């Protein structure tokens, strides 16, 4: 007699199994949402920001707009019933001891490129979901599809969206990267978490460039993360003094968040964000020299890190702005040389601005 096959898990059992596997993979939080239906009112907020041009240098946000409304179509996964959202924490208890150059880089970007290891982890979780029933389809996503992942994280109960636009997980804070598995499996959903910012406006008040138009509304064109990472071309003059403090990205709105003050225990995946050894020996002078005939190789410096997103011109530009805070002869010499010899007018402009600021 052929034994009966093991019946597929109930929605509640599936949720428990998936969350247990997510913990095994090192994820700090995991939640589930129903995949069907439009993602409103979050989608309406997104459309409003686009209409106002608040996406700034993040041009990709204006692409595939309708696809972002839902995940249960052929654009993401036809017949999807559930979306599993996970959070991978990257805060470290010892990040205050990072080398000076690393401390000018956003915490998530100081070590290995998170896309590499996070995608491996989320693919493993998707593979596990496929084993939970016959003909189960599951699509893993980590910056690989046009979805409003923060909104889905909120709907799945992974956290709530704070006034700075970050997903805050109660008891853990916002130092997390998100990833998703969209699946045809029926998984019991979690309840969304109510927003818990209350009257606090510390993040809005601390922004170095006043980039928040209102609570929950960010002008990406004024945000230092957008300016130092995604912007191609010169950084606007009004942002340069603040950009000089941040080589790649900005953490200020998270640093002042009270929810993050309660979160210092290191998570399993946080070790991947320990600074590369190269940040202990490299200097701003080295980075400002990228693009000069005898300058360092951008590919060598940025390989395996998120810094490649800024491109060689962007990283040299940012380093030149940062050198406006220095007063040593070596930094003055490299800025003068960049003004004379660098092939990029964007980098030359940044160096000229830095020299002028140093002489004030």
Which tokens sit at 153? 């994280």
What pLDDT shows up at residue 69?
Answer: 87
Q: What percentage of the chain exceeds 70 in pLDDT?
A: 97
Kindly state whether residue 325 falls inside one of the protein's structural domains: yes
Cβ within 8 Å of residue 271, ≥6 positions away: 92
Within-domain flag for 188: no
From 167, 183, 199, give the residue that closes a domain. Answer: 183
Q: Which domain holds residue 214?
A: 209-249+282-358
Task: Return mean pLDDT, the chain.
Answer: 93
**Is residue 176 located within the same domain as residue 230?**
no
* Domain co-membership, 228 together with 122: no
Provide the 10 A C-beta neighbour count for residue 311.
Answer: 16
Euclidean distance between CA atoms 268 and 263, whole angstroms: 14
Asked whether residue 306 is assigned to any structural domain, the reply reads yes
Q: Is the pLDDT of residue 5 over 70?
A: no
pLDDT digits (tens, 9 = 90+) for 253-303: 999 999 998 655 667 778 788 888 888 889 999 999 999 999 999 998 898
Q: Tell me if 274 is assigned to some domain.
A: no
- Residue 199 within any structural domain of the chain: no
- Segment 331-352 shows an average pLDDT of 98
Same domain, 168 and 226: no
What integer is the mean pLDDT of 227-251? 97
The DSSP bridge pattern shows strands 82-89 and 29-34 to be antiparallel
Q: Please, what sign has the CA dihedral across residues 124, 128, 134, 140?
A: negative
Mean pLDDT within 68-91: 94
* Same domain flag for 168 and 292: no
User: Do 81 and 217 have their domain in common?
Assistant: no
Read off the pLDDT of each residue in 341-358 and give the average, rounded to a whole number: 97
For the cut 80, the answer to whether the pLDDT of residue 2 exceeds it is: no
pLDDT at 266: 66
Residue 107 pLDDT: 93
Tell me, yes or no, whether 340 and 242 share the same domain.
yes
pLDDT at 49 over 70: yes
Comparing 97 with 354, the larger pLDDT belongs to 354
Q: 172 and 40: one domain?
A: yes
Residue 270 inside a domain? The answer is no
**234 and 98 share a domain?**
no
Query: Bridge partners of 181?
Result: 84, 140
Q: Using one digit for the tens of pLDDT, what is the confidence trace for 114-169?
A: 888 999 999 999 999 999 999 999 999 998 899 999 999 999 999 999 999 999 99
pLDDT of residue 330: 94
pLDDT in tens, 194-219: 899 999 999 999 999 999 999 999 99
Same domain for 41 and 106, yes or no, is yes
Predicted confidence (pLDDT) at residue 89 exceeds the cutoff of 70: yes
If asked whether residues 229 and 305 sit together in one domain, one would say: yes
Average pLDDT rounded to a whole number, residues 10-21: 98
Task: Give catalytic residues, as residue numbers.
Answer: 143
Distances (CA, A) of 174 to 108, 145, 182, 280: 11, 22, 23, 27
Clarify whether residues 323 and 222 are in a common domain: yes
Number of domains in the chain: 2
- Other Cβ atoms closer than 10 A to 55: 20
- Look at residues 274, 222, 276 and name the one whose alpha carbon lies nearest to residue 250: 222
In this prediction, residue 264 carries a pLDDT of 57
Residue 76 within a domain: yes
Statement: residue 224 has pLDDT above 50: yes
148: nearest Cα among 138, 161, 164? 161
Instruction: Report percent pLDDT > 90 for the chain.
Output: 79
What is the per-residue pLDDT across 99-110, written as a single tens digit (0 to 9) for each?
A: 999 999 999 999
Query: Is residue 329 domain-shared with residue 240, that is, in the same domain?
Result: yes
| C-alpha pair distances (Å), 239 with each of 188, 223, 317, 352 | 46, 9, 13, 15
pLDDT at 1 over 50: no
In a domain, 56, yes or no: yes
Q: What are phi and psi of 269, to 5 degrees?
A: -90, 0
């Amino acid at each position: 007699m052929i034994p009966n096959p093991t019946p597929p898990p109930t929605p509640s059992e599936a949720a428990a199994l998936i969350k247990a596997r997510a913990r095994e993979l090192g994820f700090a939080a995991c939640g589930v949402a129903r995949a069907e239906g439009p993602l409103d009112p979050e989608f309406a907020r997104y459309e409003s920001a686009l209409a106002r041009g608040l996406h700034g240098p993040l041009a990709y946000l204006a692409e595939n707009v309708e696809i972002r409304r839902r995940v249960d179509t052929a654009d993401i996964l036809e017949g999807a019933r559930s979306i599993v959202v996970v959070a991978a924490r990257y805060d470290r208890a010892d990040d205050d001891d990072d080398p000076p150059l690393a401390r000018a880089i956003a915490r998530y970007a100081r070590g290995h490129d998170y896309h590499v290891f996070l995608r491996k982890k989320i693919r493993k979780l998707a593979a596990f979901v496929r084993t939970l029933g016959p003909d189960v389809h599951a699509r893993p996503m980590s910056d690989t599809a046009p979805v409003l992942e923060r909104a889905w994280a909120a709907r799945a109960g992974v956290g709530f969206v704070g006034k700075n636009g970050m997903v805050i997980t109660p008891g853990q804070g916002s130092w997390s990267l998100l990833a998703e598995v969209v699946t045809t499996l029926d998984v019991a959903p979690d309840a969304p978490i109510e927003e818990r910012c209350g009257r606090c406006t510390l993040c809005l008040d601390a922004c170095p460039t006043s980039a928040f138009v209102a609570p929950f509304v960010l002008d990406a064109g004024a945000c230092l993360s957008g300016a130092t990472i995604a912007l191609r071309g010169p950084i606007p003059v009004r942002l340069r003094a603040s950009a000089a403090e941040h080589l790649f990205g900005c953490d200020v709105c998270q640093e002042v968040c009270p929810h993050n003050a309660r979160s210092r225990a290191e998570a399993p995946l946080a070790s991947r964000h320990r600074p590369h050894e190269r940040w202990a020996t490299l200097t701003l002078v080295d980075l400002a020299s990228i693009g000069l005939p005898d300058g360092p190789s951008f590919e060598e410096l940025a390989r395996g890190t998120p810094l490649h997103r800024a491109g060689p011109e962007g990283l040299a530009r940012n380093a030149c702005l940062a050198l406006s805070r220095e007063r040593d002869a070596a930094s003055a010499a490299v800025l003068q040389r960049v003004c004379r010899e660098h092939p990029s007018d964007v980098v030359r402009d940044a160096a000229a601005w830095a020299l002028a600021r140093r002489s004030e």
